Structure 1
């Protein structure tokens, strides 16, 4: 077993381009369709072999007990099937929490990939995704970490051709925390007349008229600042702007880098993500 003493990865965030809640499931979850797109806002996750398993963090404060941290849960899931040594884990949190960016899911997925690589577990993509599906609906996305059309609970994927590299993506994170549970309470599931898988093929300039996030109506109703940020992005020249996931972050896609200093009073602004 070839093992590096020091291990580090840089989990990245994702945005949702469109999000349609299509049905309530018998298991209490919802079926949905969305497009996951990776963006360049990163955490730093490092680990070393240690006498006992431990977890610590810096940067943005992570709520909850350590034993409920997704990285610890990921370690325990993998250790059930494979021999792993105890690790001292440290996470520097930079991806905003409660933002709809999948930061916790990304940390867990990247940690599973790190375990696979460092301890030569020879896990398949499917095996790693199956571990992730026990941790969160969007977690499995980060194993391959490429644009996908997601459906069912958001944990089943189809590859899509989507490259936004010629555009500038700016993300604004207002000083708010949106609970996913609260966001779902304001949703009335409805089947889409045209699949997002087809709508995403439209010219980007037409997305504004056709691609929506079902969470926006109820979430913006409760947090008007999110709606103000979205409108400000359009006023600054965004071709498309949307809340990501269940919020609270809002992103805009621009042809050129905009001047958004006026938005810095409304939240943290991340350029060129």
Structure 2
């Protein structure tokens, strides 16, 4: 069975306060984007994982697909061993939620393939154990997210009338460092209110708190954002804590922009 985990972008991101558990309360808008990995699972005599495409860093035991499998196997001991193949296409460490998406799609794939009959709410509860962004990919619909990102409220937000340009220059932003640069505060206007404004007004009011420190450390990211505006973007921003930058353009009117050959560039028309 094969599924295609997609990525997301953040439309605005505010860090509101630091919590007693060491995490931060935030508010953001998650919006799904059809740039995908490919994830295949087949029954096997023993548990096996392999990947292709972009190299997946870290220890095998920490891989989110394997952790998703082990999480379900703990509660469903009859779940058979599987062979997992992940073709990684979504840039890693880019603020696009690719790893979280892989984990969430793994949970859904196992639920469907092996008829575990888990409800959406049960899958969300499992996903929350794997990462703050993971629950979003169970519903995979635009939403207003609070808490650590796991408390979600669906939004009637449709940007299909626009085209998207997504650029990742290969820079890795340390999320822990990025949080340390911020002074959390509650904004005057909630993103839930701001997002209701016309897209043409977002440039002045829709912001990502991480941009100032991250652009200061990596000026090329600010340059990418400005080049998008110079070439017709209605709105442009960094996703999450970076380092992917996206632009929203009029439908099918993305200019031919020359980017460094090392950049990964995605056009969603």
- Please classify the TM superposition score into its range, dividing by the shorter chain length: over 0.9
Give SS of 1:261's match.
coil
Instruction: Tell me the C-alpha RMSD between the 2 structures.
Output: 1.0
* Structure 2 equivalent of residue 42 of structure 1: 36
Deviation at 1:42, TM superposition (A): 0.4
Deviation at 1:212, TM superposition (A): 0.3
TM-score with structure 2 length normalisation? Answer: 0.97
Deviations 1:62-83 (A, max 9, x none): 1001110001100111111112
Q: How many residues align?
A: 267
* Structure 2 equivalent of residue 4 of structure 1: none
* Structure 2 equivalent of residue 263 of structure 1: 259
Residues 73 and 29 of structure 1: CA distance in aligned 2, closer, same or farther (over 3 Å): same
Mind listing any 5+ residue stretches in structure 1 that lack a counterpart? Answer: 1-6
Deviation at 1:263, TM superposition (A): 2.3
* Structure 1 equivalent of residue 55 of structure 2: 61
Matched, 1:237 2:235: no
CA contact (8 A) 1:229 1:266 kept: no
* Alignment partners' CA distance in 2, 1:216 and 1:267: 19
Deviations 1:169-192 (A, max 9, x none): 110011211121121111110012
Residues 208 and 266 of structure 1: CA distance in aligned 2, closer, same or farther (over 3 Å): farther
Deviation at 1:126, TM superposition (A): 1.0
| Match runs of 1:1-273 below 5 Å | 7-82=1-76, 83-255=78-250, 256-265=252-261, 267-272=263-268
Residues 91 and 64 of structure 1: CA distance in aligned 2, closer, same or farther (over 3 Å): same
Give SS of 1:121's match.
coil
Deviations 1:209-243 (A, max 9, x none): 00100000111111111000000000011000000
Mind listing any 5+ residue stretches in structure 2 that lack a counterpart? Answer: none
Give SS of 2:61's match.
helix
* Alignment partners' CA distance in 2, 1:65 and 1:90: 16
Give SS of 2:258's match.
helix
Structure 1: 4+ residue segments shifted above 3 A: none
Residues 46 and 266 of structure 1: CA distance in aligned 2, closer, same or farther (over 3 Å): closer
* Alignment partners' CA distance in 2, 1:265 and 1:47: 34
Give SS of 1:45's match.
strand
* Alignment partners' CA distance in 2, 1:115 and 1:94: 21
CA contact (8 A) 1:241 1:250 kept: yes
CA contact (8 A) 1:18 1:211 kept: yes
Deviation at 1:266, TM superposition (A): 6.4
* Alignment partners' CA distance in 2, 1:41 and 1:229: 19
CA contact (8 A) 2:163 2:268 kept: yes
